[in-house]
Amino acid sequence: MPDLTHDEWLRRAKTLEVPGAHHLDGADESGGGATFAAVSPRDGQVLARVADGGAAEVDAAVAAARRAFDTGPWPRLAPADRGRTLLRIADLLEERRTELALTVTLEMGKPVTDAYGIELRALINTFRWYGQLADKLTDEAPHTAPDALALVTREPAGVVGAVVPWNFPLTLAGWKVAPALAAGCTVVLKPSENSPLSALLLGRIATEAGLPAGVLNVVNGQGPVAGRALGLHPDVDVLAFTGSTAVGRHFLHYAADSNLKRVWLELGGKSPNIVLPDAPDLAKAAATAAWGIFFNQGEMCTAPSRLLVHSSIAERVTEAVVARARELRVGDPLDPATEMGALAGEAHLDRVREHVGTGLAEGARLRAGGERVLADTGGSYLEPTVFDRVDPGMRLAREEIFGPVLSVLAFDDVDEAVRLANATEYGLAAGLWTSDLSTAHQVSRALRAGTVWVNCYEEGDLTVPFGGMKQSGNGRDKSAHALEKYTELKTTWIQL
């Protein structure tokens, strides 16, 4: 983390040059001339006018990616050469880490310490990991009769459309772009209209690192226009999306209405975090529960938004979480002392506050927070919020809020805890705190979630896959398994 003061970050923000054009076929393009305002949730100020892409710009981006895949060098390079390019991208990202972190903070509101120390670390590590993996994949030669030879090869799937959200604009872009490039695919990246700037920088940096023209294209635009055009495009072979379950449904429809492209979805969550009486460290469990729901302003699909606590310890754990919520420092995300920054914008702040009002109306007890703060700054800030006495049927317990709002539910035994945990349409992640090894295994198996953390939360690295069950989606980001989304299996049978 650079040793910069609040004033120094403010000075850098005033002189920061941010991109606004699409990045198509290796160059910046203004498109048809339409623009939209990129507004910072930090203070409500316009950061830039950004090119607003529609069907024409998406067509141009896909055409560039198609040419680069069908006739360009990228899919035909030796895997080691592709890997070296990804490593050069990682090196350039490291060189410009401060600029990128500042851009992320300004466009979506997270503390700059998190943008630099967590978001950029994840992005750089992702490109390095897949760069190192690129030449270590193997195909298969199954045993056959002596008069035949069978080969099973993985080949790049083609043009990938990647649509990513604003909460981790670079991390989630990297989780899709890096394995797709390692596999030999070409990519059209559509960032959220709330966070287009950092993705445009990523496109520029990839080109500077030597990625051939057309291999990575970044097109801005509104989801219902540019996102829809990408989803319906007949020359897109694979669509990878991270975002809401509602929008994920649209992409499945787009695939059905076009070329039946494969659609990989990482969607919403309402993740349970179960604390049993034999948790090895209740103070740590409570501190982690608070960190998990308030980190990134609660704007995480994996956020442990349902804290399930055994009734014998419920008040003790809740009190500890409430105490942490009350002392958490909400403020300017450019201040290194800030622990929780701004929500993504006014519209999102209004949605989260509506959920708070609904919780009160339904009879849940507000233990901490719930109020807008720092309104005089022009930014979108909310206090860390904790509800207890939450009934499983309340909207607080069922709907993804995507903000710093925790619901505490009590249970009396392990079976009830598992029933409550699984009583959701989502299945992205879960946490479990226990000292009993058998309980840890049995409950982890019973939980319908793509990731289960035991005695921790949000831990892991690039060696393990990430994704969900049920309406949290399909397919996996991270690990070697991510390459399965961007490759096709081909069988070649040779009669000798």
Q: Residue 253 has which token pair?
A: 């429809």
Closest listed residue to residue 279, CA positions, set 463, 413, 434: 434
For residue 488, the cross-strand partners are: 155
Cα distance between residue 125 and residue 254, in whole Å: 33
Distance CA 308, CA 288 (A): 13
Pairing status of strand 426-427 against strand 469-470: antiparallel
Q: Which of 266, 339, 383, 458 is catalytic?
A: 266
Catalytically annotated residue among 29, 301, 339, 400: 301
Query: In terms of DSSP H, where are the helices of 193-345?
Result: 197-208, 228-232, 245-257, 282-294, 314-327
Length of the chain, in residues: 496
What would the DSSP string read from start to end of 158-169? -EEEEE--SSST
362 annotated active-site: no
> What CA–CA distances, in Å, run from 168 to 120, 233, 373, 435, 438?
10, 26, 23, 33, 35
Cβ neighbours of residue 100 closer than 8 Å, sequence gap 6 or more: 93, 115, 120, 123, 170, 198, 201, 202
Distances, alpha carbon 196 to alpha carbons 106, 208, 219, 452, in Å: 11, 19, 9, 32
Q: Is 266 a catalytic residue?
A: yes
- The answer to whether the beta carbons of residues 456 and 284 sit under 8 Å apart is no
Q: How far apart are CA 306 and CA 176, in angstroms?
A: 28
Catalytic amino acids? Answer: 266, 301
